[in-house]
Structure 1
Amino acid sequence: MSNIKIFSGSSHQDLSQKVAEHLGLELGKVVTKKFSNKETCVEIGESVRGEDVYIIQSGCGEINDNLMELLIMISACKIASASRVTAVIPCFPYARQDKKDKKSASRAPISAKLVANMLSVSGADHIITMDLHASQIQGFFDIPVDNLYAEPAVLQWIKEHVPDWKASIIVSPDAGGTERVTSITDCLNVEFALIHKVRKKANEIDRMVLVGDVKDRVAILIDDMADTCGTICHAADKLISAGANKVYAILTHGIFSGPAISRINNACFEAIVVTNSIPQEKNVKQSTKIQVIDISMFLAEAIRRTHNGESVSYLFNHVPL
């Protein structure tokens, strides 16, 4: 591929390196540093004039710093006359703040919309992300957004690592994930169940109600992300108490903040499977239950297809080779 440059932000350089290797490219030279007052400074170390530029930066770690770094990198490339700048954001920051909560009246912000505005104003021409928490976030942008799905990789993992998957039951830990779960059950031709959760406040669950029969079945929890892991650990306990033989959890974005790792280690999971949209090296060392699916080939193929003007929809149902 000609006239293409890939740069990595500081949030997940390992993933960026894997993407570049899949494409047979070297990561572009970029230096990021902070002044003594904590302002971010970015220096692009090579010419991007007339180039198709891709900047890989996930919404994790020091999220606010990394978001600001991404905005500055986009702006730097546009000012340096890049022909197109695409922000590759495997885990979209502030995606859970996508609507107003009726409990907070009209004073709650829609921060995901603000982030969309900031990316557009900084000069981004295109966004590539994965498993947005809410699909309506795509509508917050006036530029193209390709929302990739981890579903093909999830299906492959289930078939390869769950011995009796044909007799399993797929479970959504909340009502918002039913569309995601039903899509997987249709592909596997198995049944699904739903756990309805009632929250007192953010990251705190009041009660759970299981809808569906999981007795003597292998239950596979599917969700887009897990933060403190209160939801999935409560859900696992609910499934075991309802008679499930084994419980797996498969998540796209494993944030794992606060008490998450200790909760996972104390929970009754056979395995918790996440993608590497967020760095997982430390978490894997702290818990033997955590397994990681590599999504670098999805991002690499999306970049290749975007650069060549090809359709990206193939990736919605297939794992790229």
Structure 2
Amino acid sequence: MYICNLHSFFMSFKIFNGSTCGKLTDSICNLLDISKGDCTVERFADGEIKIKINEHVRDKVVFIIQSITSTKTNSVNDSLMELYLMIRTMKRASAQKVIVIIPYFGYSRQDRKTEPRVPISASDIAMMLETAGADRVVSLELHCGQIQGFFRDIPCDNIYTSCLLADALIKDQQLKNIDLSNMVVVSPDAGGVSRARSFKQMLSIAGVETDFAIIVKERDTHGQLNNMNLVGNVQQKDIIIVDDICDTAGTLLKAIDELKTYGANKIYACITHPVFSSTAIEKINNNKNIEKMYVTDTIEMKKQDEFNIIHQVSSAELISKVIHIFVNGGSLNSLFISELPIQTI
């Protein structure tokens, strides 16, 4: 249990969740040793969302934890509308402050105009959350860090997950399941270079020095992937592909095939957000060139028994520390310099 000095603050803040982060929120509340807020999310007969907060929140600081993603019963849009209505309900119930924690920020991939007459959806969602009355937004591993700038009047914090995934690799190394002495960290595209470098830095802090490589994508005028070019040496090396999202797994598996043509040995993947749309899980499990995939629980797993090579890493402790910092008036800078225990080998 992550023991926090929170009992003196218990009467002043509460943690609620929507339908996408129930298990994660339970783990967070257990770590903080507090009870989860009582909230009911239901549907009217026509599918409209009905929110009911079953306890008073007047003058309290309210944390709402909700990923903008699909579930077995909800679409991405349902999850977003749930979040919007929960924020509005809290504000109408006279909550002192509403801090929204979005482990996975859906719509973040549309962060710029790539062709005429298309939305910048990430900016529009930011505007929507501000209009709803959110006082602060926190997300894990935003697809693009500049999304923070789409929030004009409230802070938006981007919490990196490199420390979580690097720690998982270190622990597997200690269990003799992985040899980190011959590793190359690979970014599957130019946009993810800073993310992959951060991961490489986390390994370096733990005493593991790795090389670095980038896969550069070439697309046609319609945005279709034409070619992949590797910058860096991976021949006879073990690989760690680092990315933020795995949706259909198409880009990941193409990157794996490309690395194999350049002579890579064992290939591992560290992905923050396991969206896993369509047949992604089946394709990953059937691919013989990937040894293991590490993901976080920003999105709840749907079919745990099918995850033969996928290992889920909990983000509950990281989010618990974020909440602890907000409640006690600390600085998030401690998270950016990685206070999480990465075990040195």
TM over 0.5: yes
How far did 1:152 drift? 0.9
TM-score for the superposition, normalised by structure 1? 0.95
Runs of 4+ in 1 over 4 A off after TM superposition: 200-204
Pair 1:301-2:311 in alignment = no
Counterpart of 2:119 in structure 1 is 109
Would the aligned equivalents of 1:171 and 1:221 in 2 still touch at CA under 8 Å?
A: yes
Q: Aligned AA for 1:49?
A: R
Counterpart of 1:60 in structure 2 is 69
Counterpart of 1:277 in structure 2 is 298
CA deviations on 1:231-254 (whole Å, 9 max, x unpaired) are 111111111221111000100001
Q: Aligned AA for 2:164?
A: A
How far did 1:206 drift? 2.2
The one of 132, 148, 160 aligned to 2:142: 132
Would the aligned equivalents of 2:296 and 2:313 in 1 still touch at CA under 8 Å?
A: yes
Counterpart of 2:335 in structure 1 is 315
Q: Aligned AA for 2:185?
A: I
Cα separation, 1, equivalents of 2:40 and 2:79:
14
Would the aligned equivalents of 1:151 and 1:317 in 2 still touch at CA under 8 Å?
A: no
Counterpart of 2:45 in structure 1 is 36
Counterpart of 2:213 in structure 1 is 193
Cα separation, 2, equivalents of 1:96 and 1:88:
18
Would the aligned equivalents of 1:225 and 1:254 in 2 still touch at CA under 8 Å?
A: yes
Pair 1:20-2:29 in alignment = yes
- Please state whether the residue corresponding to 1:280 is helix, strand or coil: coil
How far did 1:204 drift? 5.2
The one of 176, 179, 184 aligned to 2:191: 176
Counterpart of 1:211 in structure 2 is 231
Cα separation, 1, equivalents of 2:19 and 2:80:
10
Distance 1:279 1:243, change over 3 A: same
Would the aligned equivalents of 2:139 and 2:158 in 1 still touch at CA under 8 Å?
A: yes
CA deviations on 1:39-73 (whole Å, 9 max, x unpaired) are 11101100101101000101111210111111111
Distance 1:44 1:201, change over 3 A: farther
TM-score for the superposition, normalised by structure 2? 0.88
Aligned residues: 317
CA deviations on 1:130-159 (whole Å, 9 max, x unpaired) are 000011110011201111110111221222
Cα separation, 1, equivalents of 2:283 and 2:57:
46
How far did 1:265 drift? 1.5
How far did 1:304 drift? 1.1
CA deviations on 1:76-113 (whole Å, 9 max, x unpaired) are 11111111001110000100011000xx22x0100111
Distance 1:151 1:201, change over 3 A: farther
Q: Aligned AA for 1:158?
A: L
After alignment, is 217-226 or 200-209 more displaced?
200-209
Distance 1:279 1:202, change over 3 A: farther
How far did 1:201 drift? 8.4
Pair 1:238-2:238 in alignment = no
The one of 168, 183, 187 aligned to 1:157: 168
Cα separation, 1, equivalents of 2:59 and 2:171:
44
Counterpart of 2:273 in structure 1 is 253
Would the aligned equivalents of 1:247 and 1:269 in 2 still touch at CA under 8 Å?
A: yes
Percent identity of equivalent pairs = 38
RMSD: 1.6
Q: Aligned AA for 2:171?
A: E
Q: Aligned AA for 2:292?
A: A
After alignment, is 235-244 or 65-74 more displaced?
235-244
Q: Aligned AA for 2:233?
A: D
